[in-house]
Amino acid sequence: VGKDRLLVTESDTKNLVYLQSIIKETLRLYPPAPLSVIHEAMEDCTVNGYHVSAGTWLIMNLYKIHHDPLIWANPFEFQPERFMTTHKDIDVRGQNFELVPFGSGRRMCPGVSFALQILHFTLANVLHWFEFETPSNEAVDMREALGITNSKATPLEVHITPRLPVFVYDTTN
């Protein structure tokens, strides 16, 4: 993108492959909701060898799927590079059941495309504009709070400093 431009544009985000991998890995490691929405079996069926009666409510444990060691090597480690190598063809839009942070099928999040577009654009710009450091460069506590959505158990404390030369931020010209 360069240090002489203020904004990362939408066309730039398509070329930021590592950023895309970071977002996928973050959604895998910390899905927004650990459980899927409720589905109901419309008729008797068999799922993975288990009999499921009509009317049974089914909830997918997304957290478990996203941390399955049969699918993900070192499933509890943050490794965005996996989406540039072994899992490069996996998408988060519900087509690959190994990674479904927004659900899949008819009941997947209807705003997934918009959310991903805004997430890529916003994160690219914030990382372009600022440097982030923890106080004394200490490790970030990534423990999660219990709940129906995933959130950090402790507040995130960071120091934010401008990354670009001052003239780039000058909007008076």
Q: Is 97 a member of any domain? A: yes
Q: Is 5 a member of any domain? A: no
Q: What is the mean pLDDT of residues 128-141?
A: 90
Domain CATH number, residue 82: 1.10.630.10
Q: Is 3 a member of any domain? A: no
| pLDDT tens-digit series, residues 66-102 | 999 999 999 999 999 999 999 999 999 888 899 999 9
Q: Is 45 a member of any domain? A: yes
| pLDDT tens-digit series, residues 25-62 | 999 999 988 898 888 999 999 988 999 999 999 999 99
**Which residues, including other chains, have CB under 8 Å from residue 147's CB and lie 6 or more apart?**
none
Question: Is position 45 annotated in a ligand binding site?
Answer: no
Under 8 Å between Cβ of 135 and 128: no
DSSP strands (E only) in the chain: 39-40, 45-47, 50-52, 57-58, 130-133, 144-145, 151-152, 159-162
Tell me the C-alpha distance between 87 and 72, whole Å.
Answer: 9
Q: How many domains does the chain have?
A: 1
Matching residue, tokens 């997918």: 60
**128, pLDDT greater than 80:** yes
Give residue 18's domain range: 10-169
Q: Is 113 a member of any domain? A: yes
At residue 163 the predicted structure's pLDDT band, cuts being 50, 70 and 90, is: confident
Q: Is 4 a member of any domain? A: no
